[in-house]
Amino acid sequence: MEIIPIKYGNLMGSPDMKAALFAAGTSTPEADAVWDDLAAIKIRMGQNGASTSLLIKESGHSLFPAAVDLSFICADPQMRGEKSVAAALAALETLGIAPGDLKSLFVTHSHADHFDPRLPALLPNARVFAHPDSRIPGAEPLEMSSLPAWMSCLNTPGHGTPHCSYIFDAPQWDLAIAAAGDLVMSHAHYLSMGKPLAYADPEAGRASVRALLAALYARNLKYRMIIPGHDMPFFV
Ligand SMILES: [Zn+2]
């Protein structure tokens, strides 16, 4: 198995920014103005709010090659509309995967920056999967017994939508990897679990992070890594 980053995401709203947004209220003109300011500044700094996308390559298994959270929709207006779809397909092609080659799209949750609802129709041989207990709209329940021994999937609620996370073994590096989606948006988010802010249900989110760590440790590999939904990978 080979796990290849298609792109590493970056965060448009960090925990401290979210405090400013909360202070401005929910869906108020003030909150919209704060968001517009943050987005304009971040885009000028080269950050577009994209999510992390991964390619999982494996031969001889009907679920692979697969992508995790392939969406290229993000806060940058340049990457909305058809450009984000074209960018997703082009990124696959760059890695040697034609749209018809992809067998599975594993989604963490239904926010458009992770799951672009237009993509399944353009990936004619890919089925969209998520953890059966997550009940993510537009995704089929992933049959746990169909997974290879080097992969698992966890139901990880807390972010605010149904959400699941994926774990992959990379024994060649003695490493277990969690593709955490927005359960862990960034390393800063991981370090601020006392006041996580990116969770609609903080208790559920913290319980999901504990479950994710327990699952990583249960792989019995020397090293453990979290790949956040909007940041660079880090070891735990
Ligand atoms: Zn999200």
Mean pLDDT per block of 10 residues along the chain (236 residues) reads 97 76 85 89 94 96 98 92 97 98 98 97 98 97 97 97 97 97 96 88 96 98 98 97
Query: How many A from CA of 34 to the centre of ligand 1?
Result: 19
Determine the pLDDT at residue 35.
Answer: 86
Query: How many A from CA of 1 to the centre of ligand 1?
Result: 27
Tokens of 163: 């959400």
The CATH code of the domain that includes 209 is 3.60.15.10
Query: How many A from CA of 172 to the centre of ligand 1?
Result: 31
Query: How many A from CA of 60 to the centre of ligand 1?
Result: 32
Query: How many A from CA of 97 to the centre of ligand 1?
Result: 26
Determine the pLDDT at residue 15.
Answer: 67
Query: How many A from CA of 212 to the centre of ligand 1?
Result: 17
How many domains does one find in the chain? 1
Query: How many A from CA of 18 to the centre of ligand 1?
Result: 13
235 in any annotated domain: no
Query: How many A from CA of 121 to the centre of ligand 1?
Result: 22
194 in any annotated domain: yes
Query: How many A from CA of 189 to the centre of ligand 1?
Result: 13
Query: How many A from CA of 197 to the centre of ligand 1?
Result: 12
124 in any annotated domain: yes
Query: How many A from CA of 226 to the centre of ligand 1?
Result: 16
Determine the pLDDT at residue 17.
Answer: 74
Q: Which domain holds residue 123?
A: 2-230
Query: How many A from CA of 186 to the centre of ligand 1?
Result: 12
